[in-house]
Structure 1
Amino acid sequence: MRNDIVVIGSGTAGSRLARQLGAGVTVLGEEPHAPYNRVLLAEVLAGRYGADVIALPDTPVRTGVRAMRIDREERRVLCDDGSVVPYGTLVLATGSNSVLPPLRGMGDELPENVHPFRTLDDCLALSTAVRTGTRAVVIGGGLLGVSAARALALRGAQVVLAHQGERLMERQLDEAASALLRTHLTDLGVEVHTECHVRGLRGSDVQLADGYVLASDLTVLACGARPRTGLARAAGLDVRRGIVVDDELRTSDPHIRAIGDCAEHDGQLYGLAGPALEQADALAELLSGRDGAYTGTRSLTRLTLNGPGPLDLAAFGETTPLPGDDVVALADATRGAYRKVVVRGDRLVGGVLLGDLTAVGELARTWEGDEPLPSTPLFHLLGGS
């Protein structure tokens, strides 16, 4: 079985699977670069790391090769360089694409100086474009947009962050943590606008719904990501939001598996590095003939950005309590630190930490284990004495 495994995608999940399986795996990577750690792209944009520093351990990859079609009947992959790659087992690790919002003035090709922020090429193009004093507008205040805005500010750009939601990173952070994050960014010189609706682009300038125009030398689109499912859909596989897989990460075709951002397991799309790595490890066990299954990941969102005024945050589970939940929170405005946990009955169901992550390891283990909490006061969950 292992002699004809083909992996489409050399990102986090695909390269991890190939390293776990070792020799005898063919990896097709569309990007011209060797596999790299996507989590560290913001550090490259900030100028702290070179592109070589974020390279992953050696993984044999056919770089710059795009899979164009899957021939399920003949079990082969047809590529844009004319090559045909036969497979016994095919693994789709195609990842996700940046969501490009339907803005006025944006056609099939992005205007000059308008950039997505998803790949190393995106990052390198932005690094080339930014200078001290460059006026930059970042559209999107989720994890990716916050990372991009901070990195550009550290490069000396005049940054405006325009976010449609009520608060930054609303999917992960509660109101208090989001407010601290906003303060952190404004202290770096980032101008933050929430409940800000972008209507269109005029070159690289950004026009808001109220008619106001944000003058910009470059615009960054950080509006989220969408699973890359085109190959799977064209091949007739079961696709909903992502490529549907079972507990053995098998698609509707028994000879094709899917892992990482493109995979939808039990109705869940993760879009994070942790679940992608867990899925790759589980599939490596299965393809090596060992028993096992993937039953889901309790995923923790973590962002660590170094440099002046370092930023550390972590969030997991349900950070907004329900009626009857117990909540313990500690805030230190002077140090910009915030810690909060949500407890339901005798279970830890969620938490958020900003600035001081000393307790995150123990909290994450408690949450992931889903075990009854000890009888000690809840304050001790946050490292209190």
Structure 2
Amino acid sequence: MRLVVVGNGMAGSRLVSEVRARDKDIDVTVLGAETWQPYNRVLLSNVLAGTSGPDQVRMLDASWYADHDVTAVFGDEVVQIDRDTKSVITASGRREPYDVLVLATGSEAVVPPIPGAERAVAFRTLDDCTAILAAAGVARSAVVVGGGLLGVEAARGLAGRGLPVTLLHLAGHLMERQLDPEAGLVLGETLAELGVRTRTGVTVTEVLGDESGPTGVRLADGEVVDGDLVIMACGVRPLAGLARDAGLEVERGVVVDDELRTDDPSIYAIGECAQHAGTVYGLVAPAWEQAAIVADLVTGTDKNARYRGSRLVTRLKAKSVELAAMGETHVDEGADKSTEVVRFSHRARGTYRKLVIRDGRLVGAILLGETTAVGTLTQLYDRGGPLPGDRAGLLFPGLSSAAPVADSPVRMPDSARVCQCNNVTKGQIRACWESGARDADAVAAVTRATTGCGTCREAVEGIVGWLCEQEGVSA
């Protein structure tokens, strides 16, 4: 069987490795538009902040493809799917036949169609990141347009390099998809202490400057915000044009069923380009879940594998800013009498915690500031199990014996999911340790824990350290 994967980003490269882990004989070709070897896009904010280099976010190197008998083509974009001959055609004219085709084309940055937009830099790819870093080295101040997850990460990263940053956002508060207004306010105040000036409820109508670069932006009311580096972080849209041109069903993304097949049974779609049950997921964990299911199906490992959607946990990856949001975070408490909301806010300390409970089960949460409760709440959200009666104990682990302290390794059940991106449990980490893994890197090599967004690394290190301590061995 000839398997062709279009897109060698986080979804495509993961699919290829999942397929090879199950079957050594399938003929596999992966075609990527970028010249870079696959890299972890989630960690680009670390590159921007200077805590990681480009080499440290790489996922697979060239030797891996050779060692695993995978044909990998970099920098040659697929421009056409010929469904009649079951082949794809690249920009260079290469024609690659397939028996099974998987679209993992990802998404592209949204750049508003405003005058001077070409003077700004998007924040989406490693090339974008490289361009931003080059400009930041000589810039006097920066403007980031867009206060969603990427915009906040970009603003914090640049501020961490000592660059004055103004963050401009159209909505009334930051990260409005994940956060309620009060949490957005607390986040803005936290960023202000770190050197980011935030303006919400404003519309950018023009990027000012000349052939030498930007000088700032103009707002709808005529005000000019200065900045000789302008970054656009206005969201992303699925790259579905290739599928649309081939006559496949496309709405917001490429429409797929529970097998992640399109309306052509020979073609699958996964990751940010795919739309399942009306939802396009923009996070890495769902893409990797989908990759595993398609790998099961195309190799025959599990012909009954099905994708039922993902429960999302959003983690902000910005130094000195701890944030996790999951599930339903927006509730009309006046109209919705069936929902219980428990919250705690301490703006002076940059702390905000909110639980959304329905029928005695956690359906949503926001944790901003010191987030020791995140492990416990993520497990309760994932499992949908009943909550203890002491709600305050959930917000403040350790203060009440009624609340499970899942963040403590000794009280964390083996079934607890530690790495959300790769679905790795404490039990799997224990098994790795028992097989000789004595640090987080060794655990990652076997389970891939910590290789997604990276926010679970401290928890993995804590579990490994605790196991070493219990058994009296050296880490």
Counterpart of 1:171 in structure 2 is 177
C-alpha separation between the residues in 2 aligned to 1:365 and 1:251?
A: 32
Q: Which has the higher contact order (CA 8 A, sep 6+)?
A: 1
CA contact (8 A) 2:179 2:325 kept: yes
Render the CA deviation track for 1:355-385: whole Å, top value 9, x for unaligned. 22222122122112223334x3222222242
Distance 1:132 1:344 in 2: 52
Percent identity between the aligned chains? 49
1:174-215 residue CA offsets vs partner (Å, 9 max, x unmatched): 222211210111112211110011111222221110111112
1:14 aligns with: 12
Q: Distance in 2 between matches of 1:195 and 1:335?
A: 25
Once the two structures are TM-superposed, the CA of residue 128 in structure 1 deviates from its matched residue by 0.7
Q: Residue 139 of structure 2 contacts residue 228 of structure 2 at CA under 8 Å; is this kept in 1?
A: no
Match of 1:115 among 93, 97, 121: 121
CA RMSD of aligned residues (A): 1.5
The residue that corresponds to 2:382 in the other structure is 368
CA offsets, 1:262-283, max 9 Å, x none? 0000001111111111111111
Q: Which moved more, 1:165-174 or 1:322-331?
A: 322-331
Counterpart residue type for residue 152 of structure 1 = L
Match of 1:62 in 2: 73
Mean alpha-carbon deviation: is it higher for 7-16 or for 97-106? 97-106
SS of residue paired to 1:351: strand
Decide which of 190, 194, 197 is 2:200's aligned counterpart: 194
User: What is the TM-score when the length of structure 2 is the normalising length?
Assistant: 0.76
Residues of 2 paired with 1:361 and 1:285: CA distance? 29
* 1:134-169 superposed Cα distances (whole Å, 9 cap, x missing partner): 211110000010011111111121111110100000
Q: Distance in 2 between matches of 1:331 and 1:288?
A: 50
1:343 to 346, 349, 357: 357
Structure 1 SS opposite 2:366: strand
**In 1, Cα distance between the equivalents of 2:275 and 2:32?**
21
3-state SS of 2:124 partner: coil
Partner of 2:309: 296
Structure 1 partner of 2:455: none
Give the corresponding residue for 1:280: 291
Match of 1:86 in 2: 97
Secondary structure of 1:15's partner?
helix
Q: Say which of 321, 331, 345 aligns to 1:321.
A: 331
Question: After superposition, where does 1:220-235 map in structure 2 within 5 Å?
Answer: 220-235=231-246
The secondary structure found in structure 2 opposite 1:141 is coil
Distance 2:116 2:343 in 1: 45
57-66 or 43-52, which deviates more: 57-66
Where does 1:37-186 land on structure 2 (aligned, <5 Å)?
Answer: 37-58=40-61, 60=65, 61-106=72-117, 110-111=118-119, 114-131=120-137, 134-186=140-192
SS of the aligned residue for 2:344 comes to strand
Q: CA shift at 1:133, angstroms?
A: 5.8
Letter in 2 for 1:40: L
How far is 1:132 from its partner?
6.7
Which is richer in helix? 2
Task: Tell me if 1:269 matches 2:267.
Answer: no
Q: Distance between the aligned counterparts of 1:370 and 1:275, measured in 2? A: 18
Alpha-carbon separation, structure 1, partners of 2:45 and 2:317: 10
Q: Give 1 or 2 for the bigger CA radius of gyration.
A: 2
Structure-2 separation of matches of 1:209 and 1:332: 34
Q: Which sections of structure 2, spanning at least 5 residues, go unmatched?
A: 66-71, 401-475
CA contact (8 A) 2:346 2:352 kept: yes
Structure 1 letter corresponding to 2:331: P
Which deviations, in whole Å up to 9, do the C-alpha atoms of 1:268-326 show, x marking residues without a partner?
111111111111111111112112100100111111323xxx11211011112342221
Partner amino acid, structure 2, of 1:6: V
Cα distance between partner residues in 2 of 1:54 and 1:115: 21
Instruction: Please name the residue that 1:260 is paired with.
Output: 271
Letter in 2 for 1:353: L
Instruction: Write the letter of the residue equivalent to 1:137.
Output: V
Work out the CA distance in 1 between the residues paired with 2:281 and 2:351: 27
> How far did 1:232 drift?
0.2
Given the superposition, is the C-alpha separation of residues 215 and 335 from structure 1 closer, same or farther in structure 2, using an over 3 Å criterion?
A: closer
AA at the equivalent of 2:310 = T
State which of 198, 218, 227 in structure 1 corresponds to 2:229.
218
Amino acid paired to 1:274:
A
Note the 1:14-33 alignment, pairs <5 A. Answer: 14-22=12-20, 23=24, 24-33=27-36
In the other structure, the counterpart of 2:366 is 352
* Distance apart, 1:334 and its partner CA: 4.7
AA matched with 1:234: D
- In structure 1, give the amino acid aligned to 2:192: T
| Structure 1 residue runs without a partner (length 5+) | none
Deviation of the 1:6 alpha carbon: 0.6
Contact residue 153 and residue 317 of structure 2 kept, 8 A: no
**What is the TM-score normalised by the length of structure 1?**
0.94
1:338, distance to aligned residue in structure 2 (A): 2.2
**How many angstroms apart in 1 are the aligned matches of 2:280 and 2:383?**
21
Q: Report the Cα offset of residue 347 of structure 1.
A: 1.8
How far is the alpha carbon of 1:339 from its aligned partner? 1.8
Letter in 1 for 2:391: L
Of the candidates 359, 377, 380, which is equivalent to residue 393 of structure 2?
A: 380
> For residues 234 and 359 of structure 2, what CA distance do their matches in structure 1 show?
36
Whether contact under 8 Å (2:37, 2:60) holds in the other structure is no
